[in-house]
Amino acid sequence: MSTQTINLKLKVWRQDGPSDKGRLDTLHAKNISKDMSFLEMLDIVNENLSKRGLEPIAFDSDCREGICGMCGAMVNGQAHGPESETTLCQLHMRHFDDGDTIYIEPFRARAFKVIKDLVIDRSAFDQIIQKGGFISVNTGGAPDANATPISQENANLSMDAAACIGCGACVAACPNASAMLFVSAKISHMVLLPQGQPEASQRASNMICEMDQLGFGNCSNERECEAACPKGISIGNIARMNREFVKSVFLDRE
């Protein structure tokens, strides 16, 4: 295992609260092992700040295994940093060189307020889920579910969509701050299965309306969301969501 260490200059967004203007602080990360993760590097910086009686950088994390969706920041302008399909907690310092300057900023969108430094309020995602990100019809017990035939293709597409961890990188990467990749993943993983179909169109309509009301933008096919997504969620899900939405419009007219 490599034990090479690097020294970095960090330009970190510091903001004391939602109403604070915020600023970029210059900090130094010294003797950072290339085997460390990005968050471990921030831990070291924070330890040093604390030892000097200074406020550590606030950032979110939980699993540090790329599965919970808590971490995330813009690293040199890219959501979750430079590696594709990689969350910030799974990004390693071997992707940086000695002497690099790294800009670290929070995910930004009108619907995501900065709480402190790199910590943002993603409760807007929860509000969208509350409008339909669940199945309320009776789907029977486990033996019934096993007796329901589902094509391999739909099972695979549904599982792919269910990989969304709700991190918000898609919103931060989109020039319109659209949440369509997130919402379409949540809609797709249900509509592709028989249990999700009875409420499909109403669900799409309710979740999309909530997304609009919360201040997320529309999709203009930039595909930045797909490029930034650490779970490889495809924009094909957005097309599927839009088809469900159109169906809901026709249902309303009947």
| Residue from the set 106, 133, 166, 217 that interacts with ligand SF4 by CB under 6 A | 166
- Which 43-62 positions form the footprint of ligand FES (CB under 6 A)? 61-62
Out of ligand SF4, ligand FES, none, what residue 89 binds, judged by CB under 5 to 8 A for its kind, is ligand FES
Q: What are the backbone angles phi and psi of residue 117, rounded to the nearest 5°? A: 45, -105
93 lines the binding site for ligand SF4 (CB under 6 A): no
39/41 Cα distance (integer angstroms): 5
Out of ligand FES, ligand SF4, none, what residue 231 binds, judged by CB under 5 to 8 A for its kind, is ligand SF4
Residue identified by tokens 């299965």 is 193
The least CB distance from residue 82 to ligand FES, in Å, is 16
The least CB distance from residue 14 to ligand SF4, in Å, is 25
The distance from CA 226 to its chain's CA centroid, rounded to whole angstroms, is: 11
Under 8 Å CB-to-CB from 171, ≥6 apart: which residues?
Answer: 107, 109, 111, 112, 177, 178, 179, 182, 216, 225
164 lines the binding site for ligand SF4 (CB under 6 A): yes
Interface stretch with ligand SF4, choices 107-115, 126-134, 193-201, 227-235 (CB under 6 A): 227-235
- Beta strands 101-105; 5-14: pairing state: parallel
64 lines the binding site for ligand FES (CB under 6 A): yes
37/242 Cα distance (integer angstroms): 38
230/86 Cα distance (integer angstroms): 5
Nearer to ligand SF4, 10 or 106 (CB): 106
| Residue from the set 59, 112, 182, 216 that interacts with ligand SF4 by CB under 6 A | 182
The least CB distance from residue 249 to ligand FES, in Å, is 36
Centre a 10 Å sphere on the Cβ of residue 172 and count the other Cβ atoms it contains. 24
66 lines the binding site for ligand SF4 (CB under 6 A): no
| Residue from the set 32, 57, 89, 180 that interacts with ligand FES by CB under 6 A | 89
Helices (H), 131-235: 142-146, 152-162, 169-173, 180-191, 200-213, 224-228
113/107 Cα distance (integer angstroms): 9
233 lines the binding site for ligand SF4 (CB under 6 A): yes
- Which 140-169 positions form the footprint of ligand FES (CB under 6 A)? 165
Task: Give first-to-last CA distance, the chain, whole Å.
Answer: 66
| Residue from the set 41, 104, 124, 181 that interacts with ligand SF4 by CB under 6 A | 181
Out of ligand FES, ligand SF4, none, what residue 64 binds, judged by CB under 5 to 8 A for its kind, is ligand FES
Three-state DSSP at 112 gives: strand
Residues binding ligand FES (CB under 6 A)? 61-64, 66-71, 87, 89, 165
Residues binding ligand SF4 (CB under 6 A)? 164-170, 181-182, 185, 228-231, 233
